[in-house]
A and B are shown apart, each in its own frame.
Chain A
Amino acid sequence: MKYVVALVLGLLFGAFVFVVGLIYNPFIARQNLSPLTVTNAQTITLSYSGAVTDHIILTNDGESETKPFPTKVLLLYERPIRQSTVMVTELRDGRNQVAGIGVKISSLSERTDLLGAKALVDSIWYMYLPGKGAYFVEQSENYWTYLRSVVIAAHRSSANVWQGNWHLDTTFGPGALKTAKVTAGSGPYEGQVMLGVESLTTYVYSVSDGPISAQGRFIIELPSTLEADPESLADDGVL
């Protein structure tokens, strides 16, 4: 009997050691900064608040840690869309002026590989910037280090809150250099396919409410052969 008990305890202890090793694996390097953050090309920089209550709406299955907003929004409870989140937010330019509307739809990715430190989300953006056109963004994002350093840290905190300054380029593909694919549907860059990268800076995260203070940013690298007049964009604070 004591051998059976020892074996079962050993199995549980082994599983525990594996989970701890997976989360705190020192050999998993932090993601490098995207090349777009140091590019010499002209870029469009858009920012948005990462706090849930600053969005226009946010909806999911209603059981996630991040609560839907406003509270009476239709939930995505049907099975095919249950693992998705939709966010509509105001986008601001480099001068913190309203630049347009952004809709982000994210779904948990089946390519997620926790053994390889990949907590992937397939996400798309539809961005409409009045006067500058509409943009469609395809990307996969890796939230592994965010989960490890912010979400799990918040759960471990006695106050169930994490506070700090955590910056992460979340874009993980499909570009070889971990860049997103941006297609301009209208406006000065209509038909152009460009690169983009999204980043998230988190300041306060609560287990009960999700991100309370956070800032999202999206950089689009403009084509080197500009067909549009960059001065007009610069005048508007978009560049």
Chain B
Amino acid sequence: MCQNWLAEATGDSAVLKTFMIGTLLGIAAAAGGLYAFPAVDQHREMSIISVLPNGGNTESFHINVPMDRIMVGAPGQHEPVPPGLIWPTDELLADVRTELFKIRNSRDTVVGVAVRNAAKADTVDLIDWVLHLPARGSVFVNMSPDAMEGGYRIGKFRAGTREFATLTGTMTESWIVDTSGEEDAPDGRVELFLRFVSVKEPGK
């Protein structure tokens, strides 16, 4: 019965024309759909930026430790993070400690990923941060290895991408011990506080 219908249909030029029109419409619809709807749409959390009275902006992020730790890369760990991590044993990397974290905004929502690298370069200590926020861009910060009075470190923006490409500024890192006493509370948090100002128009 189906074969009969098909034979009849394909023999019908009006049906064939309808099929061809449908084919063209299908091509147009697929192309239009692909053009109209983005293939990638990054989820955006609202930026929580404060404006300083003397110009410039501030934004803070934090890392709940140990919940937001993705990796602690350092030689000789008894309990590696993540479990199963095999850190290279090469002598060259003996003084290197590379950590990966998820970073949260001030609403405690995860908004990005960060890398912290600490190393001893010859006689000088080196501490670098890279913050990556997928919908916004990345910023590369060189920290001063010496802690300031009050126990925090400060560093300068060295480079940035997209939203951060036109910014210059500083970032501080500080360790805040949790004193809430709650059962599921983190041990503490790493506070990252950015102060920045735009130095040029995007694209210029």
Binding site for B on A (CB under 8 A): 2-3, 5-19, 56-57, 59, 70-74, 76, 78-84, 86, 88, 90, 98-101, 103, 105, 107-110, 112-115, 122, 124, 126, 128, 130-131, 133-134, 136, 138, 181, 183, 185-187, 193
Contact = CB atoms under 8 A, between A and B. Distances in A.
Q: Chain B binding site: helix, strand, loop or mixed by DSSP?
A: mixed
Contacts of A88: 71, 73, 98, 100
Contact of A6 (B22, B41, B45, B110): B22
Interface string B124-168: 001010101111001010100000000000000011011000000
Given A2-B9, A81-B134, A107-B42, A131 B122 contact: yes
A140 to B, nearest CB: 9
A214 B121 CA distance: 31
B31 A18 contact: yes
Interface of B: 5, 9, 12, 14-16, 18-31, 34-35, 38-45, 69-71, 73, 82-88, 90, 92-93, 95-96, 98, 100, 102, 109-113, 115, 117, 119, 121-122, 126, 128, 130, 132-135, 138, 140, 142, 158-159, 161-162
A110 B38 contact: yes
Contacts of A14: 22-30
Contact of A109 (B24, B40, B82, B121): B40
Of A57, A80, A83, the most chain B CB neighbours within 10 A belong to A80
A107 B82 contact: no
B82 A72 contact: yes
Contacts, number: 227
A159 to B, nearest CB: 29
A235 to B, nearest CB: 14
Given A11-B25, A80-B135, A126-B115, 16 more contacts: A2-B12, A7-B19, A9-B22, A12-B26, A56-B88, A74-B70, A78-B109, A79-B43, A88-B71, A101-B93, A126-B128, A134-B126, A136-B140, A138-B138, A186-B142, A187-B121
Q: Chain A binding site: helix, strand, loop or mixed by DSSP?
A: mixed
B5 to A, nearest CB: 7
Nearest to B33: A15
Nearest to B142: A185
A117 to B, nearest CB: 12
A10 B42 contact: no
Contacts of B92: 98-100, 130-131
Given A10-B25, A14-B26, A15-B27, A105 B70 contact: no
B140 A130 contact: no
Contacts of A13: 19, 22-23, 26
Contact of A128 (B31, B43, B44, B117): B117
A110 B31 contact: no
B138 A124 contact: yes
A181 B164 CA distance: 14
Contacts of B121: 130-131, 133, 186-187
A110 B41 contact: yes
Contacts of B29: 11, 14-15
A90 B70 contact: no
A7 B15 CA distance: 8
B73 A56 contact: yes
A107 B140 CA distance: 17
A134 B73 contact: no
6 contacts: A17-B27, A57-B100, A88-B100, A107-B134, A128-B98, A136-B159
A80 B133 contact: yes
Contacts of A70: 82-85
Given A2-B9, A105-B132, A81 B40 contact: no
B44 A80 contact: yes
A112 B40 contact: yes
Contacts of B43: 79-80, 82
A8 B25 CA distance: 10
